[in-house]
Chain A
Amino acid sequence: MQSGAPTRSAAPADNPPGRRPGAWWLARRVLRLFLYQRELTPVVITVGLFTYFTIKAGSTFTDSLSLSSAAGYAGPIGAIAVGEVLLLVLAEIDLSAGQVFLFAPWVEYWLHNLGLPLVVAILLALVVVCGVGAINGLITVRLNVPSFVTTLAMNFILFGLVLIYSNQTQATPIPLSASNGSPSFASQFMGSWLWAEILWVLTITILGAIMLTQTRFGARIVATGGNLVGAAEAGVPVRRVKVWCFVLCSFLAGLVGIVDAVKYGSLDPGNFGVDYILYAVGACVIGGTALTGGRGTVVGAFIGAILIGILEDGLTLIGVSTNDFYVWVGVVIIFAMALNVQFDRLIARSRGT
């Protein structure tokens, strides 16, 4: 059993001598706010970065093309991160989600080339990626293979499938992409409009956040990740919850993968999913999710993705080499994780007042 012993010293008194009670009280309130609203820290940092780049790069940073390119960068990462958070809360991980993101539009492309109507091809592609998630989940819970390994293997399998069936040649133009003339509404909706992808991700984020914090399923995710045995004893179907989250993570990655492909209009078989997934996990961490299970925030993951996007775009615009970008991403991730762990400890220490 962890902690539990009532030997810990009492929380600091409200009014320690020598301090003005008002300031002390305020400081505690602010700390509490940051402690329980994990998204607040990355929001502050993101706003700070935004302000910094706006001052440094001026209107070039704030014009819509530049912002949309930041959003374009944040979109895929955000979509994958939102699904990933659910698994991180479960103390699991899906390393294949990045490859699923790349795989889904290929499936759609192949099915469409076989003569299936576009809508059917898209829906079937989504069913296929859900299947991928189900396989990830079932192997993990039934065969007790750690999800790190299951999904790492799945990443290679999907990458190989793309290479095999694409003959290692690019696919272009792909269905719905705005290659010729003015794009249709469907095309705009599915990604060719400048802001379509980020709006998809924003919608997913809002729905995901509601699901995790406000529904019974969300409570079951937290319970399963926070205390696996305890949750099972309390009647939570922990395996089913896990499998569903793998399915959901794959589904979201695949859905936005299709949107992203329509946006860029071509598919490159050489893209490797691990590149995406590592940023996505980074975004989750930056957003306030520790990888210890039981805690996590969907909104935070989205903000983490935005932060990475702004960092990438801003550094480029103020003329810093892209190489510096990687150093900064690394620094931010470590800083964020250290903060997450310390915040978790502070929560555990405070006697819930």
Chain B
Amino acid sequence: MSVQPAEPLPPAPASSQPALEVRGVTKRFGALVVLQGIDLALRQGEVLGLVGDNGAGKSTLVKILSGFHQQDAGDVLVAGKRVRFHSVAAARAHGIETVYQDLALIPQLPVYQNLFLGHEVTRLGPLRILDKSAMRQLSRRYLDEIKVHVPSVDAEAEQLSGGQRQAVAVARAVRAAPKILLLDEPLAAMGARESRLIIELVKDLASSGRVSIIVIDHNYAHLFELCDRINVMQGGRITIDQPVHETSLEQLTELMVSSFRRQLGEA
């Protein structure tokens, strides 16, 4: 694995090749064409917002990038190299971590086991005995560090509030020290205070310049605060690609409406 020398240069260094590139990716489920040729580039250290209607294909794209689904055609490039992920583990091996819309926490497992799900600390070699005390301790320290408050790391995920669960899910992805972080509606159904927590978490991460991030969200105010660039998805395509600092909320809405009209006209 080629590790890019980390350049802590906030805001995003527009240099070199993209951290992640998508070229002409298509995906269909049976007769339903969900993605019809996606082109997208995520630059090194950049936060890219992805917006679009329900059913525009955002989540499908994320699931392909995270190795959960496989594309029918097209290429995915990580740091300039063509890759094809056959599993979540394969995407992870390339430094891609994901927080899914449907929250991959296990209700019956304690917070610390959820934090380490898929990255468990084990003892006794092939017996894979869980090192629970180590995971507890690491979880406590880590959650403190990123200011995520849970009643106890021993609490089952089921016992957390929606926001706390979301925070733990984000924390799990971040803890794995990814190079690329995919966030599928990380702020869905969260209170203002909890949203703030996640936003600060993502901003901190972005400002380190080491992680490139794609965020899906419906809240434009959040996106404008978080992102360097916004891509709009409509009908399985990316129709608008705009840097945030050159765009206002009104402009973006206008662009979306006109592009949507164009699409309707085509159809």
Q: Which residues of A contact B (CB under 8 A)?
A: 1-6, 214-219, 222-223, 225-227, 229-236, 294-295, 347-348, 350-353
Contacts and interface: CB of A to CB of B under 8 A. Distances in A.
Contact of A216 (B88, B111, B128): B128
Contacts of B109: 219, 222-223, 226
Contacts of A214: 129-130, 132
A1 B189 contact: yes
B84 to A, nearest CB: 17
Contacts, number: 111
Contact of A227 (B88, B107, B122, B127): B107
B106 A294 contact: yes
Contact of B154 (A217, A347, A348, A352): A352
A2 B150 CA distance: 19
Contact of B117 (A218, A234, A348): A234
Per DSSP, are chain B's interface residues mostly helix, strand or loop, or mixed? loop
A17 to B, nearest CB: 25
A353 to B, nearest CB: 5
B155 to A, nearest CB: 2
Contact of A351 (B122, B130, B151, B154): B151
Nearest to B163: A6
A226 B107 contact: yes
Interface string B165-196: 10000001000000000000000010100000
Interface residues of B, number: 43
A226 B110 CA distance: 12
Contacts of A234: 88, 104, 117-118, 172
Contacts of B172: 234
B170 to A, nearest CB: 13
A38 to B, nearest CB: 12
Contact of B120 (A219, A232, A233, A352): A219
Query: Which of B108, B113, B150, B165 has the most chain A CB atoms closer than 10 A to its own CB?
Result: B108
A348 B159 contact: yes
A294 B128 contact: no
B130 A223 contact: no
Given A6-B191, A222-B108, A230-B100, 18 more contacts: A1-B103, A6-B162, A215-B130, A216-B122, A218-B130, A223-B106, A226-B106, A229-B102, A230-B104, A232-B68, A234-B117, A234-B118, A235-B89, A348-B159, A351-B159, A352-B151, A352-B152, A352-B156
A295 B105 CA distance: 15
A216 B130 contact: yes
Given A234-B88, A353-B151, A227 B105 contact: yes
A350 B92 CA distance: 34
A270 to B, nearest CB: 41
Interface of B: 66, 68, 87-89, 92, 98, 100, 102-109, 111, 113, 117-118, 120, 122, 127-130, 132, 150-152, 154-156, 158-163, 165, 172, 189, 191
A214 B158 CA distance: 20
B58 to A, nearest CB: 16
Nearest to A2: B107
Contact of B106 (A222, A235, A351): A222
B9 to A, nearest CB: 31
A294 B103 contact: no
Contacts of A215: 122, 127-130
Contacts of A1: 102-103, 162, 189
A226 B108 contact: yes
A232 to B, nearest CB: 7
A353 B88 CA distance: 33
B127 A231 contact: no
B102 A352 contact: no
